[in-house]
Chain A
């Protein structure tokens, strides 16, 4: 390989991976030097998880080469990768909560005497490993009693109990607070000092710059940039990751009309200082009737958490939500629904459809209590309503009784939209309403959202697609690190301004060297 530097610990070149119907990786590349902390970033679906899974042996690649410690390797299993010296820490700690810390650190490799576990040696070895990471705890306590940060340290200690020259950390900080992140960073620096390399996946820019040396940016299954972080501005990084050059932001790509006349007057929804956990720290926004308000931000910036807080899914730890001036007491989604709010979640499969139930049942799931008298469903009314919505939204289905799982993604999404429209809501929250939907259905759904706003519905729309923000939204609230930081309105909603706000503060035009720069807004 011509590009392989002699110091490279890991060199993945031209990696391809196909899944049925999609090319997840196409010639992807990742090179990590010895003793380096390397950031791997990209939007949802950019291919970074797939690339990591190939590295750690969870997936087999369809093409390309992997060199590790100078030798060509092809890991058939995660165990093989571990044995070779690649340790992985996942976002969700996957350890055994009920067992002691020591057992977790050395699970499967317990020191034995006469065929039995040597508890003394076990505890001593675990304590020693943890102290190396700066963690001083009683290793005989059950793991579940400790904070997520400590649990992550335990996972790390476990990874280090086998000598690893490469540690892969997949969003390790997403559920840690500031102090805990500091602890993790100290550990990373310790590891680095000992000569280990680290692949660090995160969406928090400040963290990347605090701890990483180099970055690989992925987009649409390809590696688009590899650079020293020192010479890459946040703005360049974000615009490269989102990948929108001026010419790419084409007008009329979406189904949005681009001209809503938001009805003035009273505010429909007002949220102030929303707070939940570490991911949502201070979000404020408002929506007026007939207005489409966009909620923009990088992954993990707290957009989805804001939507969940307003809908009563996660209880508020601070802040207030008012609808038409009345403060809502949100303990459950039912409270939000009663007040006139609907939410289409970003994950249709996990949080939207009930797969075995029919289109009819899925469409009327929220409405059922209103379709019933003394608890018995008026099936005639139900069917009429369902057929009305199938026709109105152009849902392509063999009939109301078809199980929803047999429908295409776009048509499932229409059914879920209809689920809320049938409720006649005042406010509809849409979390990535067009993700994973084919182009035709996408434009239809965008047109529909546009129409609904035209009819007076307030819409709060989360989207990672800049076009949906620039063409669809009347106002955009940008979130960063759990806070709402900027509001853009009307003609100010440009790709430039959005990227700058997402990246954080660095206003002004982009350096000309940026390949994904958006110096002139299309509109």
Chain B
């Protein structure tokens, strides 16, 4: 290109990076989390113990893992209601491999019992994506299909029976490590959770796919006109959400050393959406923070823990939980305007 005269006044030299909406949301979440921690340190006996730490993290890990997938889905302007049911499917398949197929041997059995359920859940997630892109169903309706049918499928797989593997065997013990292992004294799923958070945050921030997710959620028409493969992006976010739900399902049955298609992942979709919302991700899409989702889940968990520690009954705690969500989303509306 030949050099031409510059047009208009040159832009001012770049000042320090501006604070984006995401950064503000994460800061707000950090402040709330810090306040909750300080409150508990001051008023809850034995709060600063490894046991309390592990208890809270064990309970929050699966919500965070599913929440990471949910963050990407919501970032495209969608929602995934099927995650809890996909967890149940994943949890129903696993025992069929490491318990019912002793001929596979413990190594292969456990490997397959981890890989296959995750892949199956991912495939169901992909199906959600197909409903949404090819059949143009609204995400809430499309994923409602598997929300309902998924748990039914899980019950058919298990014949409605509770599968327990509390008895000790090489395979059962090895499998249960993902829920009960304590490397360095910290629950194994906490490491999984951190891995998923770091990976998802990296995908969202640094990869073409991540930025395309935000472009699709921010303005789908504009994204399409800029050559973003909108259909492919959507298929992948729902697949990713399915894969993570599959992983979370395995963690839940490993913690309990039993798989109950009725119970695994029950209510998970709402916990995950709540974590995403409280964390500062815009529910209408286009703006998302994975770290925010982690903080959001921790805030919800700490509130529940605090209320229980103070002797507030669980039913009342639910009301407080709802109030927090309303407050967070209302605040978010103000921030974005």
- Which of A43-51, A158-166, A365-373, A506-514 lies at the interface? A365-373
- Cα–Cα, bound, A313→B207 (Å): 26
Considering the complex, give the chain B residue whose CB is closest to the CB of A308.
B225
Q: Mark B135-167, 1 if CB is under 8 A from A, else 0.
A: 000000000000000000000000000000000
Partner of B7, one of A350, A371, A394, A455: A394
CA distance A390 to B224 in the complex (A): 24
Stretch among A245-253, A395-403, A468-476 lining the B interface: A395-403
User: Cβ of A355 < 8 Å from any Cβ of B?
Assistant: yes
Interface presence of A156 (CB below 8 A): no
Q: How far is the CB of A310 from chain B (nearest CB, A)?
A: 13
Whether B219 and A343, one on each chain, are in contact in the complex, defined by CB atoms closer than 8 angstroms, is: no
A354 touches B14 (CB 8 A): no
Does A361 lie within 8 Å of B224, measured CB to CB? no
Contact (A372, B207) CB under 8 Å given A345-B225, A355-B218, A448-B7: yes
User: In this assembly, does B99 line the interface, its C-beta being within 8 Å of a C-beta of chain A?
Assistant: no
Pick from A333, A377, A391, A395: contact of B208, CB under 8 Å: A377
CA distance A468 to B222 in the complex (A): 25
Q: Which 6 A-B pairs have the closest CB atoms?
A: A394-B8, A354-B218, A337-B227, A399-B14, A394-B7, A365-B226
* Residue tally, chain B, CB below 8 Å to A: 38
Task: Add 15 more A-B contacts to A353-B219, A375-B208 (CB < 8 A).
Answer: A332-B224, A334-B227, A338-B227, A345-B222, A356-B214, A357-B214, A368-B211, A376-B207, A377-B208, A390-B11, A393-B8, A398-B15, A401-B17, A448-B7, A451-B4
Residue A322 at the chain B interface, CB threshold 8 Å? no
Question: A419 on the interface (CB 8 Å rule)?
Answer: yes
**CB pair A372 B208 closer than 8 Å:** yes
Q: B15 near A368 (CB under 8 angstroms)? A: no
Q: Which residues from chain B contact A400 at a C-beta distance below 8 Å?
A: 14
Interface residues of A in 288-331 (CB under 8 A from B): 311, 313
**B181 beta carbon closer than 8 Å to chain A:** no
Chain B residues, Cβ within 8 Å of A355:
218-219, 286
**Contact in complex: A333, B227 (CB < 8 Å):** yes
The reply to whether the CB of A379 lies closer than 8 angstroms to some CB of chain B is: yes
Which residues of B are interface residues toward A (Cβ below 8 A)?
Answer: 1-2, 4, 6-12, 14-15, 17-18, 20-21, 206-209, 211-212, 214-215, 218-219, 221-229, 282, 286-287
> Please, how many angstroms separate the alpha-carbon atoms of A455 and B17 in the complex?
34
Cβ–Cβ < 8 Å partners of B17 in chain A: 399, 401
Contact sample, A vs B, 12 pairs, CB 8 Å cutoff = A332-B224, A337-B227, A345-B225, A354-B219, A356-B287, A357-B211, A376-B206, A376-B208, A394-B11, A399-B18, A402-B18, A451-B4
Minimum CB–CB distance for A404 against chain B, Å: 10
A394 to B11, CA, bound (A): 6
B12 engages A356 (CB within 8 Å): no
Residues of A within 8 A of B18 (CB): 398-399, 401-402
Confirm or deny: A358 has a beta carbon within 8 angstroms of a beta carbon on chain B: yes
CB-CB under 8 A from B214, the residues of chain A are: 354, 356-357, 361
